[in-house]
Chains A and B, each alone.
Chain A
Amino acid sequence: MDDRLFKAIGQPLERKEDERLLTGQGRFTDDFSLPGQLWAVMVRSPHPHARIVAIDASEALALPGVRAVYTGADCARDGLKPINHSPVPSTQFDLKLTGRGGTPVFVGPHRLLPADRVRHVGEALAMVVAETREQAAAGADAVMVDYEALPWVADTAAAAEPGAPRVWDDLPDNVLVDATFGDIAATDAAFAAAAHVVTMKTHIARVTGVPLEPRAALGHYDAATGRYTLYAGSGGAVRQKREVADVLGVDAKTIRVLSYDVGGNFGTRNRLYVEFGLVLWASRQLGLPVKFRAERSESFLTDYQGRDLVTEVSLAIDQDGKFLALRADNLSNVGACCVSLSPLSKGSGLITGSYDIPVATLRARAVFSNTMCTQAYRSSGRPEVTFAIERLVDKAAREIGIDRIELRRRNLVRADQFPYLNAVGSSYDSGEYEINMDRALQLGDWPGIAQRRAEALARGKLLGVGFANYVESSIGTPKERADVIVHARTIEVVIGTQPSGQGHETSFAQVTADLMGLPFDCVFITIGDTDIVSAGGGTHSGRSLRHASTVIALGVQDLIEKGRRLAAHVWRVAAAEVGYEAGRFSGPGATLGWFELAAHAGDPTLPEDLRGGLKVRRDNEMHTPVFPNGACICDVEIDPETGGIEITRYATVDDVGRCINPLIVHGQTHGGIAQGVGQALWEQCFVDPHSGQPLMGSLMDYGMPRFDNLPAFTNEIAEVLSPTNPFGVKAGGEGGTTGALAVVMSAIEDALVNEYGPLDISMPATPAKIWTAIQQVKAAAPAAA
């Protein structure tokens, strides 16, 4: 890859998407309507676990405008299949999760509507379709369901205990995954010989993505053509098409999925929702389009949720502060059925974090519970394990008496160790961890801590500085396809990724423009319509730019070859005599640019394989993961009188590999930080332990990051190219979140430890929790002399 060709790549170009989004011309799912459309509203279980004894829809059906009420029995009768979420990660480099004793993982069938049992509060068990949304809602209120409440379990650790109420009768207990990785004997030996052993147990609680656009779907079956059309924003229209076809038992060719502008994803949209299949099926039953739109409270209840990991980690350290071994026991709560094991899997590969720890053992388990299903959420699995290792290192530093930065420095993976194979088999591609750590310390003014602390104290505040390194991984669906088409005056690239704000229309155009020696302005990216996008992996796990840039690069190579043969035909010379450089084809005494050349593509004398336009279709498959990494540092100020906490400074250094558009990457970092900080300080999907009821059901209860509780950020991009793909791209979408949980809790500890000792404050570290923890120390302290 010749950097000198880069005119657009690396530039902070303004986005092509913005014009329409800024002027109200965005095309989000609810913006679409079809003539005659009916509305669907779901009937949802109020119980965490119950048998469905009977459903009486007679009252609902008698209400004005109500056209139908569907139940699980109707779905079963029509042979609708459960959604095949393929939850067990299966790329070459994912850790192989299995059931106990190496058995296949039982995932729990995810039916569109269950016929026998509901397994979480909010599970849909019936759908009412009516002429207006209000009528459908009134109908849903009128559906009488006779439930037999069953014993339930919501808490992650409790769900894994023998004797816990079983979510699925198919398993002897709720543990669907139980696999151990690493070298047990060597780990045990290292622990036995260690000078110090530090242990930590924590529960990283559940949060939810809260994309601003509530999920929605508009389904239309056209009897005349036998085709289904589904408008539904998602993380990948191609995948949704395939899964919906499977559920309905129809040929995928009969389905068209349209996912244009998507109002935030973060993982919540990367799996099919029952409503998306149901509206298509209902449309076929009723002969009219059927539309569904979730209320925000419905989204809180039934969007696929994130995190929820109980982890116990131990670190064995020698007398010089060198890490010898790590032990981890990770228990992931998948909810009522298993939609994705990505959080457990991705996290498992990174338990040793940024440090050179020669041996490790991990026990990875997943457990069912009577809660909403969980799925990958922004940096799936990595913020959790980063929190575990970084907080453990903080603890070790304190207990051993070594400065927490120095302890890190002694153990960071060194630049000369790359590619670095960690103790659980992840091969980190490249990195300059120590350089980035030092740069972050500089950006965060580490040397100025004492002065800032004193100044804050004068204002009655306790200041703390947090620090964390992080390394995360980007694997993602291995296959991607690009169509590169030369039109009369523009280049069109059709690609199977699915942006929800990451700026693909811009960054992919930058890549294409430079590869083809053309201006950025003439390249356009097409996504989201499966009648045009024939294949592709969607967007998740930071895969998009890496896969897209690679397949586009390969496609452009093919296109250049095709162009040379076309030019050879035009000039009646051998292809070998046609040169290509920087967007121009040259032959004896003549040159042609792309568009001029494309004008010849209609020539009837062209050989077969050159007809039909100057375009190529290219597929690519890449399995090798990349490892974005970095460091973060933040200041917090705590008012000990109220527990009130403010983040006053936050800086990061992020190695994203090659940065195509720094404006976009910084934006991703900002948003990623906000989501991590949100989990550290305010967000939690809290379930009442006595009733099993989710209590954070609206924006009134769920604490979102806002304008006035986040600081401005200072961010730097480090470009340490990855050797795994032509552009050296890693990923830039998830680093911001990965270190955030650790760095914020580290700062809180630093603020309070001198005065109160190490406090056990769980996330979210709300003011009430901070204050209460302080009071407990005060109460236990001996009276002042």
Chain B
Amino acid sequence: MTTLALTVNGLSVERDVPDNTLLVTYLRESLGLTGTHVGCDTTQCGACTVRLNGQAVKSCTVLVAQVQGAAVTTIEGLAPGGRLHPVQQAFKEQHALQCGFCTPGMVMAAVDLIEHHPGPLAPEFVRSELEGNLCRCTGYHNIVKAIVMVSAAPRQAAAPTVALAG
């Protein structure tokens, strides 16, 4: 057991956990942030995607111990004060989610993609970059639409996300 500290959604947190605790377990069970989901055991489905120091990672394949002191953003930290992030808004408008289980990871991966590639994105590029996120409900069609739409819109100044839920 070790005391492991991170910044999660803008807030400093510290918990005593076994050394081999996965980041997703720390988020879900130690912090009660159940928005990040576990969908597989082979690092493929992407439902556990969070942003770690500004980069999308699969939190099921990261030990908290490896990333002590890092800044993590989860789905709960994306919408400050109830106003939806443009990606969340676009998902809603384009019906880019059905059961919602893949959605948090999908949104975080999409946010990461858009932030690292400013400017309008081609559908083929979106499709190849999101290979690491599976969805069983939507057939991907509307998700691509939503992301392409957001990428083509003029970028608002990004509001830093600070709300910690749970």
Could you list which residues of chain A lie within 8 angstroms of chain B, going by C-beta atoms?
12, 14-15, 17-26, 28, 30-31, 33, 209-214, 261-266, 295-297, 500-503, 663-664, 666-668, 670-675, 698-700, 704-708, 710, 712-713, 736
Judging by beta carbons under 8 Å apart, are A210 and B136 in contact? yes
Give 25 CB contacts A-B under 8 Å: A14-B93, A19-B92, A22-B79, A22-B103, A22-B107, A24-B33, A24-B104, A31-B34, A211-B101, A212-B37, A213-B39, A263-B39, A264-B98, A296-B45, A670-B140, A698-B40, A700-B44, A704-B134, A705-B139, A706-B131, A706-B134, A707-B127, A707-B130, A707-B131, A710-B141
Binary contact track B129-166/A, C-beta < 8 Å → 1, others 0: 01101111111111110000000000000000000010
Judging by beta carbons under 8 Å apart, are B102 and A212 in contact? yes
Query: Whose C-beta in chain A lies nearest to the C-beta of B44?
Result: A699
Given contacts A15-B95, A25-B165, A708-B127, 4 further A-B contacts (CB under 8 A): A261-B100, A263-B37, A297-B42, A708-B128
Query: Whose C-beta in chain B lies nearest to the C-beta of A710?
Result: B140
Judging by beta carbons under 8 Å apart, are B97 and A297 in contact? no
**Residue B74 at the chain A interface, CB threshold 8 Å:** yes
User: B99 contacts which of A295, A501, A710 (Cβ < 8 Å)?
Assistant: A501
Nearest CB in chain B: distance from A665 CB, A: 10
Judging by beta carbons under 8 Å apart, are A699 and B40 in contact? yes
**Residue B120 at the chain A interface, CB threshold 8 Å:** no
Nearest CB in chain A: distance from B23 CB, A: 15
User: A667 contacts which of B28, B44, B95, B134 (Cβ < 8 Å)?
Assistant: B95
Complexed CA–CA distance, A264 and B40 (Å): 14
Give residues 66-93 of B contacting A (CB, 8 Å).
Answer: 74-76, 78-79, 84, 88, 91-93
Report how many residues on chain B are interfacial, defined by Cβ distance under 8 Å: 54
Judging by beta carbons under 8 Å apart, are B36 and A261 in contact? no
Complexed CA–CA distance, A672 and B136 (Å): 9
Q: Contacts A23-B78, A24-B35, A706-B134: A212 and B101 contacting too (C-beta < 8 A)?
A: yes
**Residue B47 at the chain A interface, CB threshold 8 Å:** yes
Complexed CA–CA distance, A109 and B45 (Å): 35
Between A22, A25, A710, the greatest number of chain B beta carbons within 10 A of the residue's beta carbon is seen for A22
Complexed CA–CA distance, A397 and B109 (Å): 47
A residues near B97, Cβ cutoff 8 Å: 18, 21-22, 501
B residues near A671, Cβ cutoff 8 Å: 98, 136-139
**Residue B118 at the chain A interface, CB threshold 8 Å:** no
Complexed CA–CA distance, A704 and B47 (Å): 14
Judging by beta carbons under 8 Å apart, are B45 and A212 in contact? yes
Judging by beta carbons under 8 Å apart, are A707 and B92 in contact? no
Query: Whose C-beta in chain A lies nearest to the C-beta of B32?
Result: A33
**Residue B6 at the chain A interface, CB threshold 8 Å:** no
**Residue B5 at the chain A interface, CB threshold 8 Å:** no
Complexed CA–CA distance, A19 and B104 (Å): 12
Complexed CA–CA distance, A18 and B104 (Å): 11
A residues near B141, Cβ cutoff 8 Å: 670, 710, 712-713
Complexed CA–CA distance, A500 and B102 (Å): 12
Judging by beta carbons under 8 Å apart, are A14 and B92 in contact? yes
User: A263 contacts which of B74, B76, B99, B107 (Cβ < 8 Å)?
Assistant: B99
B residues near A296, Cβ cutoff 8 Å: 39-42, 45
| B interface secondary structure, majority | loop
Complexed CA–CA distance, A736 and B135 (Å): 16
Q: Contacts A674-B140, A698-B42: A23 and B98 contacting too (C-beta < 8 A)?
A: no
Judging by beta carbons under 8 Å apart, are A212 and B88 in contact? no
User: B139 contacts which of A19, A673, A698 (Cβ < 8 Å)?
Assistant: A673
Judging by beta carbons under 8 Å apart, are B98 and A502 in contact? yes
User: A663 contacts which of B91, B95, B127, B131 (Cβ < 8 Å)?
Assistant: B95
B residues near A261, Cβ cutoff 8 Å: 99-101
A residues near B138, Cβ cutoff 8 Å: 667, 670-671, 674
Nearest CB in chain A: distance from B74 CB, A: 7
Nearest CB in chain B: distance from A574 CB, A: 48
Judging by beta carbons under 8 Å apart, are A707 and B93 in contact? no
A residues near B99, Cβ cutoff 8 Å: 211-213, 261-265, 500-501
Judging by beta carbons under 8 Å apart, are A698 and B75 in contact? no
Judging by beta carbons under 8 Å apart, are B38 and A214 in contact? yes
Between A17, A21, A673, A713, the greatest number of chain B beta carbons within 10 A of the residue's beta carbon is seen for A21
Nearest CB in chain B: distance from A85 CB, A: 24
Q: Contacts A500-B99, A706-B134: A22 and B142 contacting too (C-beta < 8 A)?
A: no
Query: Whose C-beta in chain B lies nearest to the C-beta of A667?
Result: B95
A residues near B33, Cβ cutoff 8 Å: 24
Complexed CA–CA distance, A501 and B41 (Å): 23
B residues near A25, Cβ cutoff 8 Å: 35, 76, 165
A residues near B29, Cβ cutoff 8 Å: 33
Could you list which residues of chain B lie within 8 angstroms of chain A, going by C-beta atoms?
28-29, 33-42, 44-45, 47, 74-76, 78-79, 84, 88, 91-93, 95, 97-104, 107, 123, 126-128, 130-131, 133-144, 165
B residues near A209, Cβ cutoff 8 Å: 136
Nearest CB in chain A: distance from B73 CB, A: 11
Query: Whose C-beta in chain B lies nearest to the C-beta of A502?
Result: B98
Q: Contacts A30-B38, A501-B99: A266 and B74 contacting too (C-beta < 8 A)?
A: no
Complexed CA–CA distance, A211 and B104 (Å): 15
Complexed CA–CA distance, A672 and B44 (Å): 21
B residues near A18, Cβ cutoff 8 Å: 91-92, 97, 100
Nearest CB in chain B: distance from A677 CB, A: 9
A residues near B140, Cβ cutoff 8 Å: 670, 674, 705-707, 710
B residues near A674, Cβ cutoff 8 Å: 136, 138-140
Judging by beta carbons under 8 Å apart, are A708 and B41 in contact? no
Judging by beta carbons under 8 Å apart, are B102 and A24 in contact? no
Complexed CA–CA distance, A89 and B165 (Å): 46
B residues near A30, Cβ cutoff 8 Å: 28, 34, 38
Complexed CA–CA distance, A603 and B36 (Å): 48
Judging by beta carbons under 8 Å apart, are A24 and B136 in contact? no
Judging by beta carbons under 8 Å apart, are A23 and B100 in contact? no
B residues near A26, Cβ cutoff 8 Å: 35, 100-101, 103
Complexed CA–CA distance, A70 and B76 (Å): 39
Complexed CA–CA distance, A467 and B44 (Å): 33
Which 6 residue pairs of A and B lie closest in terms of their CB atoms, listed nearest first? A24-B35, A21-B100, A501-B98, A263-B101, A501-B99, A670-B139
User: B34 contacts which of A24, A212, A672, A713 (Cβ < 8 Å)?
Assistant: A24
Complexed CA–CA distance, A606 and B134 (Å): 57
Complexed CA–CA distance, A500 and B98 (Å): 7
Query: Whose C-beta in chain A lies nearest to the C-beta of B100?
Result: A21
Between B75, B92, B99, B141, the greatest number of chain A beta carbons within 10 A of the residue's beta carbon is seen for B99
Complexed CA–CA distance, A261 and B99 (Å): 7
Complexed CA–CA distance, A667 and B141 (Å): 8
Judging by beta carbons under 8 Å apart, are B45 and A699 in contact? yes
Query: Whose C-beta in chain B lies nearest to the C-beta of A699?
Result: B44
Complexed CA–CA distance, A708 and B141 (Å): 11
Between B41, B75, B144, the greatest number of chain A beta carbons within 10 A of the residue's beta carbon is seen for B41
User: B100 contacts which of A33, A263, A700 (Cβ < 8 Å)?
Assistant: A263
Complexed CA–CA distance, A664 and B128 (Å): 25
Complexed CA–CA distance, A263 and B45 (Å): 13
Judging by beta carbons under 8 Å apart, are A264 and B139 in contact? no
Complexed CA–CA distance, A269 and B28 (Å): 24
Complexed CA–CA distance, A748 and B88 (Å): 38
Query: Whose C-beta in chain A lies nearest to the C-beta of B134?
Result: A704
Complexed CA–CA distance, A261 and B104 (Å): 14
A residues near B44, Cβ cutoff 8 Å: 699-700
Q: Contacts A22-B92, A24-B75, A24-B165: A712 and B104 contacting too (C-beta < 8 A)?
A: no
Judging by beta carbons under 8 Å apart, are B92 and A15 in contact? yes
Q: Contacts A23-B88, A501-B100: A211 and B41 contacting too (C-beta < 8 A)?
A: no
Query: Whose C-beta in chain B lies nearest to the C-beta of A296?
Result: B40
Complexed CA–CA distance, A212 and B88 (Å): 20
Complexed CA–CA distance, A675 and B138 (Å): 10
Complexed CA–CA distance, A707 and B113 (Å): 14
Complexed CA–CA distance, A666 and B88 (Å): 20
A residues near B93, Cβ cutoff 8 Å: 14
Q: Contacts A24-B74, A712-B123: A214 and B39 contacting too (C-beta < 8 A)?
A: yes
Judging by beta carbons under 8 Å apart, are A699 and B95 in contact? no
Nearest CB in chain B: distance from A551 CB, A: 24
B residues near A673, Cβ cutoff 8 Å: 139
